[in-house]
C-alpha cells in the first residue's frame, strides 16, 4: 500500500442481542419455571436468573442426587400450587352458583384484561357486560386437575428413582 492510500473499508455492523427473545426460546425449550432460592428452576434442573433476561443460566447439576432433589422440589411446588388454585376456583364457582340461585335475572360479568395501546403502553380494558358463564372457570378447573395429576405422577416416578 502506498502512502496516503486507505485500506479496505470495513462496514461496521450493529448487532444487538435480543435477550427477551432468547429467554422466550429458553422457556419453550425447558418449560414453565418456579422461583427457587432466588432463581428460576425448570423441571429438567436448569436454573436461570429471575431478574435479568440475559441470565446467567445454569445447567442441571451433574450429581444425580442433586438433580433428583431439584426435580422433587419443582414438582412438589407445582402440586401444592395446583391444589390451591383448584380450591380457589372451586369456591368461586360454588359462590357464583349460589348467588345465581337467589337472583331473578342472570348475573352480569365482565372480563378484565391487559392490551397494548397504539402508543405501545400497556392498558387495562374491560369486556362488555354479559350473562355470567361459568364454562371458562369450569374448563380452567378441569385443566388444573389434569396438571395436578401430572405433577403427582411425576412425584411418584421420582420416588421410585430414589
What are the domain boundaries of the chain? 17-60, 62-101+137-162
User: Within 10 Å of residue 26's Cβ, how many Cβ atoms?
Assistant: 19
148: Cα separation from own chain's centroid: 15
pTM for this entry: 0.76
- The residue-averaged pLDDT of 123-138 equals 88
Phi-psi region of 125 (alpha: psi -120 to 50; beta: other; left: phi over 0): beta
Average pLDDT taken over every residue of the chain: 90
Residue 104 pLDDT greater than 80, yes or no: yes
Q: Which residues contact 103 (CB under 8 A, 6 or more apart)?
A: none
C-alpha cell at 9: 473499508
Average pLDDT over residues 48-69: 96
- Whether the predicted pLDDT of 77 surpasses 80: yes
pLDDT at 60: 97
For 34, residues 6+ apart whose C-beta sits below 8 A from its C-beta are: 40, 41, 73, 74, 77, 78, 81
Of the ranges 2-6, 21-25, 57-61, 63-67, which one carries the lowest mean pLDDT score? Answer: 2-6
* pLDDT at residue 24, rounded to an integer: 94
DSSP secondary structure code for residue 25 in this structure: H
* In contact, 56 and 88? CB cutoff 8 Å: no
pLDDT surpassing 90 at residue 25: yes
Q: Checking DSSP bridges between strand 57-58 and strand 47-49, what pairing results, if any?
A: antiparallel
For residues 99 and 51, give the distance between their C-alpha atoms in angstroms, rounded to a whole number: 42
* Per-residue pLDDT at 18: 95
Amino acid at each position: 500500500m502506498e502512502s496516503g492510500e486507505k485500506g479496505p473499508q470495513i462496514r461496521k455492523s450493529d448487532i444487538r442481542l435480543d435477550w427477551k427473545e432468547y429467554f422466550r426460546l429458553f422457556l419453550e425449550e425447558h418449560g414453565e419455571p418456579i422461583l427457587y432460592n432466588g432463581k428460576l428452576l425448570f423441571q429438567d434442573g436448569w436454573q436461570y436468573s429471575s431478574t435479568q433476561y440475559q441470565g446467567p443460566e445454569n445447567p442441571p447439576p451433574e450429581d444425580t442426587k442433586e438433580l433428583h432433589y431439584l426435580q422433587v422440589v419443582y414438582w412438589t411446588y407445582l402440586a401444592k400450587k395446583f391444589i390451591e388454585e383448584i380450591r380457589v376456583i372451586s369456591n368461586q364457582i360454588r359462590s357464583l352458583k349460589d348467588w345465581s340461585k337467589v337472583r331473578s335475572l342472570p348475573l352480569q360479568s365482565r372480563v378484565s384484561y391487559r392490551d397494548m395501546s397504539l402508543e405501545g403502553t400497556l392498558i387495562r380494558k374491560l369486556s362488555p357486560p354479559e350473562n355470567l358463564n361459568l364454562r371458562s372457570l369450569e374448563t380452567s378447573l378441569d385443566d388444573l386437575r389434569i396438571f395436578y395429576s401430572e405433577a403427582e405422577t411425576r412425584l411418584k416416578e421420582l420416588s421410585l428413582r430414589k
